[in-house]
Amino acid sequence: MKKLNPMTTMQPQLLELFRAACEARERSYSPYSGHKVGAAIRMSDGSIFTGCNVENSSYGGTICAERVAVQKAVSEGHLAVKEVMVVTASTPPWPPCGMCRQVVAEFASPGETVRLHTSNLQGEHESFDFEELFPRAFTPGHLLKQK
């Protein structure tokens, strides 16, 4: 895990995602866990969508920042995720949960490697290919395969 100042060491496109995720994180509705999470996703066409975690007193109604961002993108007609940034205040930064990983896998840009970035407000940052985090994901392609 690299300790860095994101404002001076991130490449411009990654810094753009980091800033967008930080801004979304500030809108988090997290009265139960107290943990704010922000996400920003870049689609294959370059558009960016953001999300924050939105908790619910029934807990099962809670939705993670990553899924909010993907659902916003899909609702606007964008179906191909190319890059994901997740920002927390936690050390180390949190990766997406299993359900978020599955949703990203569903909308991963076909034929492209999806990059995942985790960062925190203290400057720790990590980047890797999505497949490293979620190898052999169940995807829509599995449903198309014949028996």
Q: Which two tokens stand for residue 135?
A: 């190898």
C-alpha torsion angle, residues 67, 135, 86, 115 (rounded to 10):
-110
Active site residue 106: no
Residues 35/88, Cβ–Cβ less than 8 Å: yes
Which residues, listed in sequence order, are joined to residue 146 by a DSSP beta bridge? none
- State the alpha helices, DSSP H only, in the chain: 6-9, 12-25, 65-75, 98-106, 130-133, 140-144
- Cα 61 to chain centroid distance, Å, stands at 19
Annotated catalytic residue within 66, 106, 124, 132: 66
User: Which are the catalytic amino acids?
Assistant: 66
